[in-house]
Structure 1
Amino acid sequence: MTQRLFPEWHPQDAIQLTWPTAESDWAPLLACIEATLEAITVAIARHQAVLITVADTATRERLTTRFAHLGVAAARLRFAVAPSDDTWARDHGPIAVERDGRVVLLDYRFTGWGGKFPAARDDALTRRLAETGCFAVPVESRDLVLEGGAIETDGEGTLLTTEACLLNPNRNPTLDRAAVEARLHEDFGIDRVLWLRHGHLEGDDTDSHIDTLARFCDARTIAYVRCDDPQDPHHGALQAMERELQALRRRDGSPYRLVPLPWPRPCFDPDDGHRLPATYANFLILDGAVLVPTYADPADARALAALAEAFPDRDIVPIDCRSVIRQHGSLHCLTMQLPQGSLSAADATPLEEER
Structure 2
Amino acid sequence: MDLKGTPVFHGYRMPAEWEPHSMCWIGWPERLDNWRDNAIHGQRAFVEVATAISKFEPVTVCASAAQWANARSQLPKSVRVIEMSLNDSWLRDSGPTFVVKESKSTSDSEAKVAGIDWEFNSYGGVDGGCYIDWSFDNLLASKILDVERVPKFKHSMILEGGSIHVDGEGTCLTTEECLLNKNRNPHMSKEEIEDELKAYLGVKKIVWLPRGLYGDEDTNGHIDNMCCFVKPGVVLLAWTDDESDPQYERSIEAYSVLSSATDAKGRKFEIIKLHIPGPLCMTAEEEAGLVQVGEAKARCVDSVLAASYINFYIANGAIITPQFGDQKWDDEAVRVLSHTFPDHQIVRIKSARDILLGGGNVHCITQQQPAA
Deviation track 1:247-303 (CA, whole Å, cap 9, x = no partner) reads: 222344432221110121210111311111110110100001011111010201001
**2:161 counterpart residue number:** 148
Structure 2 distance, partners of 1:224, 1:164, is 16
Structure 1 counterpart of 2:287? none
1:318 aligns with 2:348: yes
Q: 1:203 Cα deviation (Å)?
A: 4.3
Q: Distance in 2 between the 1:111 and 1:314 partners?
A: 35
3-state SS of paired residue (2:144): helix
Q: How does 1:128-143 map to 2 (within 5 A)?
A: 128-131=143-146, 134-143=147-156
The 5 Å alignment of 1:127-276 reads 127-131=142-146, 134-271=147-284, 272-276=301-305
| 1:49-84 CA-partner distances (Å, limit 9, x unpaired) | 11111111x6333433333xxxx3x3x322221111
SS across alignment from 2:169: coil
Amino acid across the alignment from 2:73: T
Question: Per the alignment, do residues 229 and 202 of structure 1 end up closer, same or farther by CA in structure 2, a change over 3 Å counting?
Answer: same
2:74 to 66, 76, 88: 66
CA–CA distance in 2 between the matches of 1:32 and 1:214? 27
Q: CA RMSD in A?
A: 1.7
Cα distance in 1, alignment partners of residues 211 and 72 from structure 2: 44
Is 1:330 matched up with 2:361? yes
Measured in 2, the distance between the counterparts of 1:63 and 1:325 equals: 20
Give the fraction of aligned pairs with identical amino acids, expressed as a percent. Answer: 29
Counterparts of 1:171 and 1:97 in 2: how far apart (Å)? 22
- The code of the aligned residue for 2:15 comes to F
Q: In structure 2, which of residues 18, 27, 30 is the aligned counterpart of residue 21 of structure 1?
A: 30
CA contact 1:90–1:336 (8 Å) conserved in 2: yes
Counterpart of 1:308 in structure 2 is 338
Aligned residue for 2:272, secondary structure, equals strand
Local SS of the residue matching 2:353: coil
Cα deviation for residue 155 of structure 1 reads 0.4
Aligned match of 1:120: 135
Paired position in structure 2 for 1:47: 56
Q: Confirm whether residue 6 of structure 1 aligns to residue 15 of structure 2.
A: yes
1:240 positional shift:
1.3
Secondary structure at the aligned position of 1:291 is classed as: strand
TM value normalised by structure 2: 0.85
Which residue of structure 2 aligns with residue 80 of structure 1?
A: 82
| Partner SS for 2:283 | coil
Displacement of 1:112: 0.6
How far apart are 1:207 and its partner, in Å?
1.0
Question: 2:315: which partner in 1?
Answer: 286
8 Å contact from structure 2 (residues 239, 251) kept in 1? yes
SS at structure 2 position matched to 1:112? coil
Residue 200 of structure 2 aligns with an amino acid whose one-letter code is D
Other structure's SS at 1:276 match: coil
Secondary structure at the counterpart of residue 275 of structure 1: coil
Residues 158-217 of structure 1, C-alpha deviation per residue, up to 9 Å, x if partnerless? 111111111111111111011011111221221111111144321431111100100001
**Counterpart code for 2:98:** A
Q: 1:105–1:251: structure 2 CA closer, same or farther, 3 Å change rule?
A: closer
The residue type paired with residue 79 of structure 1 is V
- Give 4+ residue runs of structure 1 displaced > 4 Å after superposition: none
SS of residue matched to 1:285 = strand
- Give the match for residue 353 of structure 1: none
Contact 1:33/1:324 (8 A) holds in 2: yes
Q: Which amino acid aligns with 2:139?
A: A
Distance (Å, rounded) in 2 between the aligned partners of 1:120 and 1:191: 33
8 Å contact 2:28–2:71 — kept in the other structure?
no
> Which residue of structure 1 lines up, in the alignment, with residue 371 of structure 2?
340
1:165 and 1:246 mapped to 2: Cα distance? 21
One-letter code aligned to 2:370: P
CA contact (8 A) 1:204 1:276 kept: no
* Contact 1:228–1:263 (8 Å) recurs in 2: no
Aligned to 2:120: 110
The two structures have a TM-score, normalised by structure 1, of: 0.89
Runs of 5+ in structure 2 lacking a partner? Answer: 1-9, 104-111, 285-300
8 Å Cα contact 1:90-1:332 kept in structure 2:
yes
